[in-house]
Structure formats: C-alpha cells, structure tokens
Structure 1
Amino acid sequence: MTMTPGAAPWKLDEINLSDQEFWALPWSRKIEAMKLLRSEAPFAFFEEPEPLLGTEAGPGYYAITRHQDIIEMSRHTETYSSGQGATSILDLPVEMLEFYGSMINMDDPRHAKIRRIVSRAFTPKMLGRVYDDIAEVVAELVGTIAVEPSGTVNIVERLSSPFPLTIIMRMMGIPKDKYDVCLQMTNIILSGGDPEFMPPDAENPIGIFLEAGATLAGIMHELAAERRGTPTDDLTSALVNGSVDGEQLTDDELASFFILLVVAGNDTTRTAISHAILALTKNPDQKKIWMDDVDGITPTAVEEIVRYASPVQWMRRTLTHDVEYRGHAFKEGDKVLMFYGAANRDTEVFEDPDTFDLRRSPNPHLGFGGPGPHFCLGSSLAKRELGIVFQELFRQLPDLEVEGEPEMLVSSFINGIKRMNVRFTPTA
C-alpha cells in the first residue's frame, strides 16, 4: 500500500508505482516522488499491479526515470523490445496487443512495414486538407463556447475532448453518427480502469477492453470495405488502396492502426490542451508573453506544453537478452518502464524543469517518445493542433481561465484531466 504522507518528503520505501493510490495523489506529490527515484534509484524495481481477470502476475519491472537512460533504451530496439507489449505492464493476450497499439506493440521488420505504408499515405495534399480542417473545427468549437451565456463551461467536454477526435474522424472519413461511440470506446480503453468510464456491472475488465477494441475494429472494417470499392480522398481510402513495395495493410492491421489513431491521437492531444490551459492560468505572465507574440512564441510554446504535461507517462520495453547497463545487470525477459514525465523534469537536462517556460530552448523533451523507430508518427500534427487551438482561444476568449481544481484521471499511463471548469467573458 502506498503511503500518503502529506507534505512530508518522500522516502524510497514509501513509493509504489504499482499502487493505484499513488496515481490518485496530487500531481506535485508524484513529481516529487519521481525526482527522488531519479536521484536515488534510477532503476527502482516494483512488483506488478494486481492482475486483471484473464492475466497473470508477472515478475515485476524496473522504473527508468532518467532522460539519458530512456534515450539509450529507445534507440537500441534490438535489446529493448516492444513486441511483447509496450502499453501494458502485464503480459496481455495477443489479441489485445493487436487491438491496442498496432505499431507500438511491434518490432521491426513488421513495425517498419506498417509505418512505411502509413507514412506514405500522409501526402502533402492530404496534410494540407487536415490542417484546414483543424482551423475550421477549432473556430467552430471555440465559437460555441464564446457565446455561452453563463461564461463558464467544462473545457474538457466542450473543447479538449471533441476537438482531436473530430479531426481524426474527418481525416479517416468516419461517418458523423459514429463519433460518439468512438469517443466512448476510446475512454474505456484509456481509462486505466477508472470506474467512471467502465460499465457499472463490469466484472471482467479484459472483456470490456476487448469489446471496446472490437467495436472500433468493426467500424473500420465496414468503412474499409466501402473504400476499396469506392475510394474517396480520405486517409482510409489511401491506406486500403495504397502499398509500399507491393505490400498493403491487411484489414486487421488497418483496424489496429485506426484504434491507435483514435486512442493515442485523441487522448494525448486532449490531455496536452487541458494541461496547457491549466498552466496558463497558473502562469499569467507566460500567457501574456504568448499572446503578445503569437506567431513568434507558438513553436517553442507547443514543445513546452508537451514537455510539461507529458500526456503519455510511460512505455514498456522487454529485454531480449542479458545486458549490463550503467552497472546494472538486466536479464533476458526483464521489463523496463520508461517514465517520460520523470525524464522531462531531469535537472541534468532541463534548467528549472518545474517552471513552465514557453520560450524554453533548447527543449529536448521526450513527450513524443524517445529517438528511434517508435518516435511518435503524429508529432507534427499534434503540434499543429496545439498551436491553432491556442491562437483561436486567444482570439475569441482572451480572458479564459480555470475555475476551481481540475478532476484528474487516476491512471499511471495517461496524465489525463477528466473535468476542468473555465470562466470567461461571453462574446454575446
């Protein structure tokens, strides 16, 4: 059981990253714990969380919290493998790895094949259309908020959540009547078991997660069949009808990529937007700096938002063979969790890392993962989304600020905000 010693300094034996209670602590307390691990136990070992129904408890894992260590492990995929699962501490059934992660849970050469096909589909013409969609969707969403007579809304519900999902749905060509179910299934997959997003009578979380993945896969299978016969100008058409060196995505590979897109592309951007609004409220001087020079500050601002928020908190790797690294003897089969949020506050790399500095440069954060084949494929799109969102907020709602305390998602994997009220001066 994780101790919750209030404001008292952490002791190493009080920290348990496998205990859900730890992830329910205030953000500042978790940051302090990671700071202690970085300095005193950079390869700290933890028992695995309580296994879900249908899984077995594993041997435990090492928490990697230093920036340089995560860079090295990300680069050397021949030693630190993703193929046994990158998004779960527990070893999951193969069908879950296929549903939840696609390329994330693969090693080369299969990973490289799928990434090449997907990358080829993102043509300049398609990206230009997506960027136009971003501006249109943001303007519409912010505009509906701006005329809210009460001058207060839950910004997660009204902007952070629907915006990135809408972009993905439009990009893939998903019918509008499927948007709500896609959001619901996405929330289940990334809930971390948070009861708010699970059915009230859920006795088998594995079954619920699989059902959510199967629902999303079914939507994509149906659409893919249509686009093979009648292609349009959406990403689904490009993926099902495109190939690289004669290779095409199978239906299952396409469905897995879609799930990756609606999960990773949606929730990470949603989390970054919410955290940025909160950080700007707490740092009005930074907000003024950005508003006074929107074009000049946006490039460094979006990087700092991703560093500061670290939406995805960790990814797992599994050792393919014995190796000694920095004096520690890792064994074949050992699991390591690379904690990006901890690395993004490493004082060996970042000056005053707990300070939200929109002009921070250089900013070699790991918010999109470490270098190597698994670096986030959608990083450029995510940064474009963040930039346009805040340009529009500054234009339509310049005095928007958080009201009260946000309600955080209790999850070790996503540093999410479930609810956050904001206040502003309505425009009408």
Structure 2
Amino acid sequence: MLVERDLASLEFWARPQAERDVLFEKLRVAREPVFCPRPGGPGFYALTRYEQVAGAARNPKVFSSEPTSSSLVDPAPPIREFSGSMISMDDPRHARLRRIVSRSFTPRRVNKIADDVAALAAHIVDELVRRGPCDFTAHVATPMPLQIICSMMGVPESAYDDVVAATNAILTLGRGDLDSLGPDGEGRETVLTESFTYLHELMADLGRLRRERPSDDLVSALLHANVDGEALTERELGRFFSLLAVAGNETTRHALSHALVLFTAHPDQKSLLLSDLDRHLPGAVEEVLRYATPVTWMRRTLTRDHTLFEHTYRAGEKVVLYYNSANRDEDVFKDPHTFDITRAPNPHFGFGAPGPHFCLGSHLARHEMTTMLRELLTRLPGLHATAEPDREGGIITNGIKALPCAF
C-alpha cells in the first residue's frame, strides 16, 4: 500500500506514473498538508493541491528557497558554493541577479537565435533520417537544448563534449538525495565539485575574454548588463551557466522525449495535431508540459510560523511543492488524467508555480520544443516509440533515460 513516506523513496519514483498518481490523488483528496517522514533525517510536508503550491510559491518571504530548493537534504558547503544559483536564493540576492539576467535573457534575445534553433532542428532530423531506428532521447532530444545554450553563451564548439560530460555527471549524481544514492558520499562530492569547477572555470576564461573583446553572445550581455551600477561577478556567471546547462538542458530534453511517448500512446491526439499543425502545436506543447511535468517538485523552508489554508507550519519546517500533483488537481483541470492538446485554459506548473522563481528560460524551452516538434512531425509524421521508455527514476525530475524510436 502506498503511504506518505514513499515520497522520499527512490523506489517509489521508479514506479510507473499511474501508480504514483494513485498516492497523489489520495493526498489531494485529504485536502490538508500531509507530513512525510524521512528515514535518517527530518521529514517534510507535501503540498499537493494546486492552491497550496501556488500559495507557497507566491510568498517567498515565508517559504524560503534557502539553503536549497532542489534537495530534501542541505548540500555540503563545497557543493553549495558552486551550485548556489538563483533558484536557491531569496531576496535581495535573488532579485538583484534576476534583474541583471532578465535584462539580457529576454524573449527578444531568444528570437534572435531562431534561425540557429531551426538549423539545429533540421540537422538533427537529417541525422535521424540517415541513422534510422535509434534512441530518440540520445539522438534527438539531448542534442538540442545543450547545444543551443552553449551557442547562446558563446562557448566554443571544442568545449561542447566536456560540457556534456560535466552536466551529465551533475545530473546523474543529483537525481536523488545526495545521502541516498549509495555509500560513497565522499566520492560523489568529489565528482560534483570537479564538474561544477569545470563549468565555472570555463565561464571564468570566457568572461575574461569577453570583458576585453565583447561579442554578440549572452556572456557579453551579462557581463556588461549594468543594472543599478552592478553586473554579474565571475562566480555569479559560473553559477548562472551551471543552472542553464543543467536545468535548461534536462527540462527540455525530458519534455521532448515525453512528447514522443505521449503521441505514440495517443494516436488520436497525434492525428488531430497533424490535421492542423499551426493551430494545435502551441496547445500540444503546453499539454505535454502539464502532463509530463519534467521538474516534479521544488522545496521551501519556513522562515517563521505561518498559516496556509488552515494549517500552521512552524519556522524551520520543510515543505515540498509537488508540481506534478498540482497539474493533476481535479479542482483546476477537467479530466486531469486525460492527455488533451486542445485543453484551454491550461494554467499548468510545468515551469514552476507563479512567483519570483518562475522559470526564466520558459520562453527558450517552449521555442525549442515547438521548433523540434514541427520539424519532426512535418518530415517524419510516422515517427513513433517502439518500446516503453527507460525511465531515470530520480525523485526531482520525471526523466527518460532512453527511448527506442522508428519511422
């Protein structure tokens, strides 16, 4: 029988989504926060209803993102030093970084690279046609987001393979709690530190170059984005690139893989999409993001006693905002377990809930997904998954490790 403590278990997150949905529906029906004990450490409250998640996300002064928003345990100081990006900061530090970055990381800048995104999508599909049946995740979903991020930042192509290796190491070791992945905690910490160090040093070298010779890339824009007399420091630039390379890469990659799974499992929805791609593709992207919810949750820590929807949380307690459950909330979404590309409105939390931490890269992710799906469905309308996906089983992302495909 599924119980609340399963939410802190890697075994639970490796189960099929339908089984996990059973527990989340039970918790939503309870209509009150549920405490989840966690073996070997302090537990947390699970916020599973749409209004609970939104209420916490909109109140960062009480529901703090520090010391971390992406783990049930607090990271060791060496890891925190490198990985302490905006998603694990509160104001005023978060507001300052967000102001600087948002002036440069804009929809207008994303639109400027539209030709690059389209060219990469066409190249990836060219290679898919040449290769034939293959692993969709490895050969289609993975190359798009990280190459675009590196291109935007001005990272030389000669460094792409090393960036991929570093981000893969961080993602592999960060999918579960750092204290529950195995006995070699010291070894994991070393690998994470080395991987983050590489990404930071890459940005430090590129930053020094761009300070002397600015270019039309995102690093130049960030270093010269003078907001109230401030620009990004070298450490802040490294943290921002690490966030983009890890979070931006993983979210889009998993969403694209889930799209193929969903359209294979729902041929009626695929036929509807193909009947009028211009009309239905935007809605299809939003429904994939709702249904798959690539980022499953984020954590918050109470700064003081606070009552939210008749429950009083105490200072220091942890809560987890389950976006996947909010995206299935029966009070907000009609037939929430149905995959429907015409769903409107669709106020999903695929990029986090409303508030200061709403995903800064949402416009880029939507653009990449739309461009790639248009290229695939136009040129290979018969593309489909040939087996069940090999899921990653991590507790913070709804990830797909491998997905055989054919056309």
**SS at structure 2 position matched to 1:78:** coil
Q: Which residue of 2 aligns with 1:246?
A: 229
1:6-405 equivalences under 5 Å are 10-12=1-3, 15-40=5-30, 42-48=32-38, 57=41, 59-122=42-105, 126-148=109-131, 151-192=132-173, 204-405=187-388
Matching residue's letter, 1:288? S
Matching residue's letter, 2:10? Q
Q: Which residue of 2 aligns with 1:3?
A: none
- Displacement of 1:299 in angstroms is 1.7
Structure 1, unmatched stretches of 5+, are 1-9, 51-56
| 1:178-231 residue CA offsets vs partner (Å, 9 max, x unmatched) | 112212221222225579xx9998853222222211111111111111111111
Count, aligned residues? 403
| 1:358-405 residue CA offsets vs partner (Å, 9 max, x unmatched) | 110000111111111101111111111111111000122110000111
Contact 2:210 2:219 in 1 (8 A): yes
CA distance in 1, matches of 2:37, 2:199: 32
Contact 1:172 1:235 in 2 (8 A): yes
CA distance in 2, matches of 1:48, 1:97: 22
TM-score scaled by length of structure 2: 0.94
- Displacement of 1:94 in angstroms is 4.0
Contact 1:87 1:101 in 2 (8 A): no
- Displacement of 1:126 in angstroms is 3.0
- Displacement of 1:339 in angstroms is 0.7
| 1:279-328 residue CA offsets vs partner (Å, 9 max, x unmatched) | 00000111111111111112211111110110100101110101122232
**SS at structure 2 position matched to 1:136:** helix
Contact 1:19 1:49 in 2 (8 A): no
Distance 1:346 1:123, change over 3 A: closer
**SS at structure 1 position matched to 2:301:** strand
- Displacement of 1:174 in angstroms is 0.6
Distance 1:71 1:199, change over 3 A: closer
1:400-411 equivalences under 5 Å are 400-411=383-394
- Displacement of 1:124 in angstroms is 6.2
**SS at structure 1 position matched to 2:405:** strand
**SS at structure 1 position matched to 2:172:** coil
Backbone CA RMSD of aligned residues: 2.0
- Displacement of 1:96 in angstroms is 2.4
| 1:34-76 residue CA offsets vs partner (Å, 9 max, x unmatched) | 11122136422223365xxxxxx3x221111111100000001
| 1:1-32 residue CA offsets vs partner (Å, 9 max, x unmatched) | xxxxxxxxx4536x511111111111211122
Q: Which residue of 2 aligns with 1:420?
A: 403
- Displacement of 1:147 in angstroms is 2.0
Contact 2:50 2:329 in 1 (8 A): yes
Distance 1:217 1:309, change over 3 A: same
Structure 2, unmatched stretches of 5+, are none
TM-score scaled by length of structure 1: 0.90
CA distance in 2, matches of 1:48, 1:255: 33
Matching residue's letter, 1:260? L
| 1:133-183 residue CA offsets vs partner (Å, 9 max, x unmatched) | 1111001001110122xx311011101111110100100011112112212
Contact 2:107 2:364 in 1 (8 A): no
- Displacement of 1:340 in angstroms is 0.4
Matching residue's letter, 1:62? Y
**SS at structure 2 position matched to 1:392:** helix
Contact 1:202 1:208 in 2 (8 A): no
- Displacement of 1:120 in angstroms is 0.8
**SS at structure 2 position matched to 1:246:** coil
